[in-house]
Amino acid sequence: MPTRSMFLRILWKLLGASRGRLTVALIALTSGAAVSSALLNVNLDAERKLTQEFRTLGANVVVAPPSSGDASLADASVLDRIAALQLPQIVATAPYLYVAANSGSQPVILAGTWFDQVAKMNSWWKIQGDWIATRDDHEHCLVGEAAARQLGLAPGSAVQLRSGDRAIALTVTGIVATGGSEDSQILTSLDSAQILAGLPARMSLVQLSVSGTAAEIEGVTRRLADSLPGVEVRPVRQIAAAEGTILGRIQGLIFWTIALILVLSTLGVLASMAALAMERRRDVGLMKALGGPVPRIMRLFLAEAGTLGVLGGVLGFFVGVVLARWIGERVFGVAISARFEVLPVTIALTFAAAVAGAFPLRLLGRVRPAEILRGE
């Protein structure tokens, strides 16, 4: 116990001496720990935040009648079976029924859907006018910009649609620009499209917005396929692959950035410790002259570096949390949550960098007491 107490007292004295050199080393370690902590926090939240952002860019899973079968329409009971699965990864479910109709002498495609669900997965659509808020609105419609030019429609216009001997009258609430096939369509409620087509409880397909990684989306797709016999469930491969590629690249970038930051922190500690080693030659010579074994002297200096590493890791973690919040607000528009499981990882990384940077102190083991006592 006395030996440990003496060790701790000497360690405290060492930390109190050479404050300038040690402060530089601590700043280097804290800076590296802060950036590492911020990037680790971002990495843990990046996948969740990015998948949330991806879910506003359209459907990534489609449920439709088999392409090789005779049926061209699916039963609307598929929607109930999807809801019954209660899969938390499904962010939005939008059924569609496409009907070939005429507005006067002009042919047009009418798409019936659930507008509340479409809004969740296509928030990037540009609209001139007003959106339709509910799925049960049988009196209004949205018109794609190409169809609006063809039919001469604008917000507030009335449009008569006919299919066979059935007809419906709708009022245009808005003109939408999507960059897709919807630009040439008129969109209304699913019920209205079913009435015009004379196809109650039928639909052409269901678009799903599923959150998660590419592997998780594949898992949800398999679960749906197993639970929905008679229909085809397929992911939109391009979107799923793009999500996986972007996530992989971001995680790779974060890994190599952390590695570079730790190397730079180690070099900063290395420079400070090299200068410190020259200053402490006399102290080491005196310790050795008094009978201090070299391994114990080295443990003393490594403990000093390790203490700096732990302190820098703790300080850097909390600075990194603030930095991660700033990054999250700038990149994702929301704050990154503090993940306290990052704290031990940050401390371990900073401790390793500090001990690696203390390598020059090992050279003090070669100091000869006789030379120091002679003043050489």
Host H or E run for residue 159: strand 158-163
Lowest mean pLDDT among 65-79, 218-232, 277-291: 277-291
Cα 54 off chain centre by: 10
In 3-state terms, what secondary structure has residue 104? coil
Contact 46, 324 (CB under 8 A): no
Model pLDDT for residues 191-202, shown as the tens digit of each residue: 999 999 999 989
Read off the pTM: 0.60
Token pair in block for residue 360: 């020059």
pLDDT of 244 > 60? The answer is yes
Give the CA radius of gyration of the chain: 33
CATH 2.40.40.20 spans which residues of the chain? 61-235
CB count within 10 Å of CB 171 equals 13
E strand map for 6-54: none
In 3-state terms, what secondary structure has residue 175? strand
Model pLDDT for residues 289-309, shown as the tens digit of each residue: 655 565 666 677 777 777 878
Classify residue 5 by burial, with Cβ atoms within 10 Å: 0-12, 13-18, 19+. Answer: exposed
Assigned fold of 61-235: Barwin-like endoglucanases (2.40.40)
pLDDT score for 207: 92
Token pair in block for residue 49: 């935040």
Portion of the chain with pLDDT greater than 90, in percent: 28
